[in-house]
Structure 1
Amino acid sequence: MAGTTRDAAGESTGRPRKASWKYIGPGIVVAATGVGAGDLVATLIAGSRFGYTLLWAAVIGCLVKISLAEAAGRWHLATGRTLFEGWRTLGRWTTVYFAVYVVVWGFVYGATAMSSSALPVVALFPDGPGLKTWAVITGLTGLVFVWFNRYAVFEKVMTVLVGVMFLIVVYLAIRVSPDLGATLAGLVPVLPDGSLLYTLGLIGGVGGTITMAAYGYWVNAKGWHDAGWMKAMRLDNRVAYLTTGIFVVAMLVVGAELLHSSQIALTKGDRGLIDLGAVLEDRFGAATAKLFLIGFFAASFSSLIGVWHGVSLLFADFVRRLRGGEGGAAAVGAERSLPFRAYLLWLTFPPIALLFLDKPFGLVVAYGVLGAAFMPFLALTLIWLLNTSRTPAEWRNGILSNVMLSAAGLLFVVLCVQQVRQLPW
């Protein structure tokens, strides 16, 4: 576009005259990273137990995520400051919380992400190496990919993975012949007996992780650094979560049509998708089952490399602020910085040990508490940052943003309490 410039990474840095589809990217990355195998299973189980009844909750969940990601992106563009820089203005407690969180969470998540990505590969190649070997291979592949590639390539690969999983899941939803009448009826808010926790989980779980906080860093890495990119960011965010919404609805349809009517139960956790692969093979044949496993891998591996890249950017910014550095962590060169690469190594090598050992009890509890508390932390600190003089008056929260972020904060507090109660104390 005339009137724009390019940064060292080849991304446009000038202000666009208007939002354009060609700018879509960071939103797709954050949505793809947030939707992992566990979210797919949760959606499938909701569909298998309650049919289409909770479809409305999935739609609300996408609206909540749009609000959170928009707020994170707006902070970066309106203030020219990173999210961690904003957190530090709220007090030292944010630094202490994040320091503990990012170390413990990354250690346990690394093993979880590698196992999740390996499951469909083992199912596709049953005569090959075992689960733990494939898990190590996927982790090392993610490490090498993020280590040697910059954001532009990373975004393109993530977009391809999103396209693969989106097309496959939508194809499956069409293949199971959805009941359109029941689908539309599912948009009416209803709470069947025993569905409250599933409803809250459906609203809060799909696409909601620490990578929501990484959205602003990916926006900066794209070459967007000021409020002139606000319209482009908002379009990018809405398109991404509209895509996620369709994806989630498609998974709910598959659960409702394929599992609910047959009273088939799935295993909780990522292995539930292996169960679904077996059901698909019985119903539609081996080709459809293998196609689904490819989509399963795309969902899991996109989450893996998304965390490897996005949370490493957060960590690089965390270290830079502690050292008193200036400038955004998503600036050119951050992806080659020592803190970025050190956290990449932390996500990959120490967690490999957990693949061969039972997770230590204390670590499981700490991971559960810290992980459950992050989304309330993000929602409530964004409300704080975007309603004060830290943000230019023009870009502070309006009534709608405050309502959505407050609702998100309350929702995540409830989910946090519930998840903590379910931990193996």
Structure 2
Amino acid sequence: MKISKHLNIGPAAMVAAAFIGPGTVVTASLAGARFGYALLWALLFAVIASVVLQEMAARLGVVTQRGLGENIRETFQQPLARFAAITLVASAILVGNAAYQGGNIAGASLGIRALAGNAGLPGWGFNPWAVVIALLAFVLLWSGSYRLIEKSLVALVGLMSLAFLATFAISRPDIGGFLQGLLVPRIPEGAALTVIALIGTTVVPYNLFLHSSSASQKWRDARELPLARGDLLFSIPLGGLISIAIVGTAAAAFFRHQLELQGAGDIAATMRPLFGDLATTLMGIGLFAAGISSALTAPLAAAYALCGILGLRPDLRSNAFRAIWVAVLVTGTGVAALELKPVKVIWFAQVANGLLLPVITAFLLWEMNTSRLGEYRNSPWQNLAGLLVLLVTVMLGGRSLMSAFGLL
């Protein structure tokens, strides 16, 4: 999608579509409902960190014409080191995708139900919307057309932007409290895991694989790096703005009115008496777009990452590539269709990804300093920014572990 001759939107919009899923809606909504605007700074940090890391991933893909998984496999030739690298990467991808995909499809279903006035099939113990959404995702992925998938995801990001930003405006947030939460870092009591979850829902390890692989397909020459960076600087901050708007909406709707929030479905239903039918409709549209976009990108990213790291051909039409995304999609569909409660699983995935992020960040930094990048290797300033992100994620990860085990 071309916004102008200077701005070519694509791979980074896919990344934004990936991290603005039901997991983001759940995590950001819970953060706003429980802590008001206090944790907005964590999302601002996450957006900056995401820009730093995704720029490296895109540069790696465009310059080497290979994804992060393929580059890691090429770097680690020694059998034991390669086995360790493959195990760590596969763990990060499988934990994230196994936990997310059911929530992605269930989240899209919640959006449809909100739009339909919670219409369902009582007594079935089965969610037919999950199958409909999964079939839609299946058709788009099976097409094997990168351009079709990219255009679909760009459109969904646009729809999400309109829905969630309009909902934020309707909720009439406290602008003073909003700005203070955005610019003054603090961690209220009991919020350490929520901080990790907010970072984990924005800087997702598998997005580094998705971005590097998709950028290598979109742009074939290092001279096109300015286009890749323009895409990045437009799409990632837009995705962050959506997350920030969701926190602000939940803070205005729940924290301000001292209402309890149990899950993503509650926010659409509770907005009706507070802000009217329009807010509920917009939230339903946003949830649907978030769910279907992530239901597309999670299997796609898993296939890119695992094919790359296992030395298989990362081709949209190859049997191995299709087998991986079909497995992820079918697993998620089963969880969502049987209505197994996804909120706790999604929460676990956010925390797990926040803890796994330092490992994948370290791999990326290693790759960005190898000789195969030539003049496009990281500069000292880029390495410093990457190391700062790595240090902060390690510190926050350590704090969350201590909190989880009752040591804080």
Q: 1:114 to 1:47 in 2, by over 3 A?
A: closer
- Paired with 1:38 and 1:351, the residues of 2 have a C-alpha distance of 13
TM-score by length of 2: 0.84
Name the structure with the higher helix share: 2
Match of 1:155 among 150, 154, 179: 150
* Larger CA deviation: 69-78 vs 97-106: 97-106
Q: Which residue of 2 aligns with 1:54?
A: 39
Deviation at 1:254, TM superposition (A): 0.9
Deviation at 1:385, TM superposition (A): 1.4
Residues 149-206 of structure 1: per-residue CA shift (max 9 Å, x gap): 5111111111111111111111111112233333333333231531444334333432
- Paired with 2:91 and 2:36, the residues of 1 have a C-alpha distance of 40
8 Å contact kept, 2:11–2:215: yes
8 Å contact kept, 2:28–2:243: yes
Q: Which residue of 1 aligns with 2:294?
A: 303
8 Å contact kept, 2:358–2:393: yes
1:227 and 2:219 correspond: no
- Paired with 2:362 and 2:237, the residues of 1 have a C-alpha distance of 24
Residues 236-258 of structure 1: per-residue CA shift (max 9 Å, x gap): 11111121222122122212222
* Unaligned 5+ runs, structure 1: 1-10, 13-18
Residues 244-255 of structure 1: matches in 2 within 5 Å? 244-255=239-250
- Paired with 2:250 and 2:38, the residues of 1 have a C-alpha distance of 12
Match of 1:127 among 107, 112, 119: 119
Residues 39-50 of structure 1: matches in 2 within 5 Å? 39-50=24-35
8 Å contact kept, 1:46–1:252: yes
- Paired with 1:188 and 1:150, the residues of 2 have a C-alpha distance of 42
Asked which structure has the greater RCO (Cα within 8 Å, sep 6+), the reply is 2
Equivalent residue pairs, number: 387
- Paired with 1:170 and 1:206, the residues of 2 have a C-alpha distance of 17
Residues 55-114 of structure 1: per-residue CA shift (max 9 Å, x gap): 222211100001111111111223333312221213312123334555565445433332
Match of 2:139 among 138, 144, 147: 144
Across the aligned residues of Structure 1 and Structure 2, the Cα RMSD in angstroms comes to: 3.1
Q: 1:245 to 1:20 in 2, by over 3 A?
A: farther
8 Å contact kept, 1:26–1:218: yes
For 1:133, give the aligned amino acid. Answer: P
8 Å contact kept, 1:56–1:189: yes
For 2:48, give the aligned amino acid. Answer: L
Q: Which residue of 2 aligns with 1:280?
A: 271
* Larger CA deviation: 197-206 vs 96-105: 96-105
1:240 and 2:257 correspond: no
* Larger CA deviation: 203-212 vs 236-245: 203-212
Match of 2:363 among 381, 394, 418: 381
Match of 2:281 among 278, 290, 302: 290
What is the aligned-residue identity percentage?
28
1:216 and 2:197 correspond: no
- Paired with 2:34 and 2:99, the residues of 1 have a C-alpha distance of 30
* Unaligned 5+ runs, structure 2: none
TM-score by length of 1: 0.81
